[in-house]
Structure 1
Amino acid sequence: MDTDICAGCKYSLKNFLSMCENDDRLKEFLKVHGVIDCADVIICPKCNKPCKFFERHNKYVCNTTTVVVNARNRRVRQRCGFIQTSRKNTFFSGSKKSVQEICQFVAFWLVGFKQEQLELETEWSRRTVVDWVSFCREVCFIIVRDHTEPLGGPGKIVEIDEAKFGRRKYNRGRIIEGQWIFGGIERESKKVFMVPVADRSQDTLLEIIKEWILPETTVMSDCWRSYDCLENEGFQHLKVNHSLNFVDPDTGAHTQNVERLWRDIRFDIPRFGRRSDNFVYYLAEHYFHRKFPKFTDRFHEFFKYIAEVYPPTDTQHEGEGTSS
């Protein structure tokens, strides 16, 4: 996708919702950001002839006719009949909701509306809201997967820590196992990585550290024993003993930035009803919000990424079969 299609428009929630009320403006926004590509003509995948786009029906229809011999041995003209909606294989395909409704939902989600607020504003069922929240988080997950780079390097500091998400009610009764998350933050840039882990063993954490932190980085951590090997793995390792100090008096080492990261995540992800196998998607949503803290930037960036995950040109010019 050409990421220079739009140089970086900014919308408030009010202005974005207003744009959604105007079909022409919304269509132009989606075209400019690469989410849809309503070319005037595509090549029909059925007969390989030009297939025209009909604005009124928002579909490509092939009216090409050919002469065939019917069962009565008569020569008759037969229309190709290929029909394809412009939504096919885009972010909007497979849904009975209108493009306008879906864009409004995405806008509410981007500014941080929670489950009940989304249901109230959209008047959608709980299941539909849950599905579309999942679709949006999947886009965030692909952003993290494809656009996150290792942290640190010579002269850079990365703080690392583990946190467990899950709790016991009033510290008694049935223990909720929860989910361990291992992560780090680069002090200079505030870039982060966050990875769900099954355990905090040296083998598990070291593998992730090598994947996400560049050699010769100064790594700061607490005194968890799994980190004791870092000096032998190409890192400069500074520790702080939290049972004695928040900041090491000799080296100045601390992990206050990564601990703040955990507080932010706890505030941002669902406290109840969350599933451990979805945790990576909760983290991806938090990562996107963290990367674009201003709401006015999120509309442009998210729809640009939607186009990257669901590129419309590939399907509209090379689609197969008939779709309504």
Structure 2
Amino acid sequence: MYLIKIKFKKMANEYYEKLITMNDDEFLNYLFQKSLVKNAQNCSSCGVEMILKYKKEVNEKYTWRCINSLCCNYKTTRTLRYGSFFQDFRLPIREILKCIYSYAIFPRQKDIKIQTFLSKNFIINIRNRLIQKFREYFRLNPIKLGGSGVTVHVDETKLNFNVKSHRGHSPSEPSWALVFADTSYFPSRGYVELVENRKSSTLLEVINRVVLPHSIIYTDEWPSYANINQNEAYLHRTVTHKYHFVDPTTGVHTQNVESYNNKLKYKIKMVKGVRKEK
């Protein structure tokens, strides 16, 4: 895992350098190749395909222009970002991409601001739009883990931090999350979902929705997991953490998901907490 992080950091730095050193033509081709902007636009009046024009004196170097001399909107221009994620932002697309890229590297807004020199409000707006896009994507593409013969570790975890040395205030209600780790990937593919409580009906609803049938599920012996294989959709194995972390007889453990829990809590601590919303 440590070596993977080092490689990712190196790749991230190389990509960021490439992003800031690409000339205008290279950057335009990059946007088209990644489908970040549309590579063709039609005039809304005449329907004829528009052409790209280079404008050296403006922030956005390329704009679409109608070339139909018979059109009532002849020579009317349209921004390159029209119909894309960038449409509602005024900053150059390159600066927006720097911010998005930095979100993939740095957990704290403070670090993103130092890296990009962008305002706090803009960084927050980008974050909110990204969250909106993530929600739209996962609504259309629900997360599915496991599969026939694939082991999935499942564990519930408390996201609140306990008060230490009588400093601060404990939250009025605990925030619980159900965490999954699909071990068929390296590193394991994780998924987290906030849950109202740790009742069997609550946890099993999420498990049945997320984990594919015929998967092998490893959990601890929390009573709410007892009915996981009541419909024989899963093969359920448990480990008793009171005695050992890895069952010496069966080899069952939940270390993958425990590791994921620790990383999740560390990220939350780095950003000084998150809002309690799904």
Q: 1:188 to 1:124 in 2, by over 3 A?
A: closer
Task: Determine if contact 1:46/1:82 at 8 Å carries over to the other structure.
Answer: no
Q: Please state if 1:272 is matched with 2:272.
A: yes
Q: 1:49 to 1:168 in 2, by over 3 A?
A: same
- Quick one: distance in 1 between partners of 2:84 and 2:13? 23
Counterpart code for 2:95: E
SS at the partner of 1:169? Answer: coil
> Which of 202, 209, 226 is residue 224 of structure 2 equivalent to?
226
The offset of 1:170, in angstroms, is 1.0
Deviations for 1:147-175, whole angstroms, at most 9, x for unmatched residues? 56533334332211101111232175632
Range 30-39 or range 13-22, more displaced: 13-22
State the match for 2:170 in structure 1: 175
Pairwise CA RMSD of aligned residues? 2.8
SS at the partner of 2:50? Answer: strand
Unaligned runs of 5+ in 2: 1-9, 56-60
SS at the partner of 2:128? Answer: helix
Q: 1:112 to 1:148 in 2, by over 3 A?
A: farther
Q: Please state if 1:129 is matched with 2:130.
A: no
- Quick one: distance in 1 between partners of 2:105 and 2:169? 36
- Quick one: distance in 2 between partners of 1:50 and 1:236? 57
- Quick one: distance in 2 between partners of 1:12 and 1:215? 37
State the match for 2:27 in structure 1: 26
- Quick one: distance in 1 between partners of 2:250 and 2:262? 25
Q: 1:125 to 1:43 in 2, by over 3 A?
A: closer
The offset of 1:123, in angstroms, is 2.0
SS at the partner of 2:246? Answer: coil
Counterpart code for 1:181: A
State the match for 1:59 in structure 2: 63
SS at the partner of 1:53? Answer: strand
State the match for 2:245 in structure 1: 246
Q: 1:271 to 1:243 in 2, by over 3 A?
A: farther
Q: 1:12 to 1:204 in 2, by over 3 A?
A: closer
How many residue pairs get aligned? The number is 257
Task: Determine if contact 2:19/2:94 at 8 Å carries over to the other structure.
Answer: no
Counterpart code for 1:247: V
Q: 1:115 to 1:82 in 2, by over 3 A?
A: same
Counterpart code for 2:156: E
The offset of 1:192, in angstroms, is 2.8
The offset of 1:98, in angstroms, is 0.6
- Quick one: distance in 2 between partners of 1:29 and 1:79? 29
SS at the partner of 1:263? Answer: helix
State the match for 2:44 in structure 1: 45
Task: Determine if contact 1:47/1:80 at 8 Å carries over to the other structure.
Answer: no
> Which of 139, 143, 151 is residue 157 of structure 1 equivalent to?
151
> Which of 91, 102, 109 is residue 103 of structure 2 equivalent to?
109
Task: Determine if contact 2:147/2:212 at 8 Å carries over to the other structure.
Answer: yes
Unaligned runs of 5+ in 1: 1-9, 68-77, 281-324
Comparing both chains, which one has the higher relative contact order based on Cα–Cα distances under 8 Å and sequence gaps of 6 or more? 1
State the match for 1:4 in structure 2: none
SS at the partner of 1:260? Answer: helix
Q: Please state if 1:35 is matched with 2:36.
A: yes
State the match for 2:6 in structure 1: none
- Quick one: distance in 2 between partners of 1:224 and 1:11? 41
Instruction: Output the TM-score relative to the length of structure 1.
Output: 0.69
Instruction: Output the TM-score relative to the length of structure 2.
Output: 0.79
- Quick one: distance in 1 between partners of 2:91 and 2:16? 18
- Quick one: distance in 2 between partners of 1:35 and 1:52? 18
Over the matched positions of the two proteins, sequence identity in percent amounts to 24
- Quick one: distance in 2 between partners of 1:264 and 1:63? 54
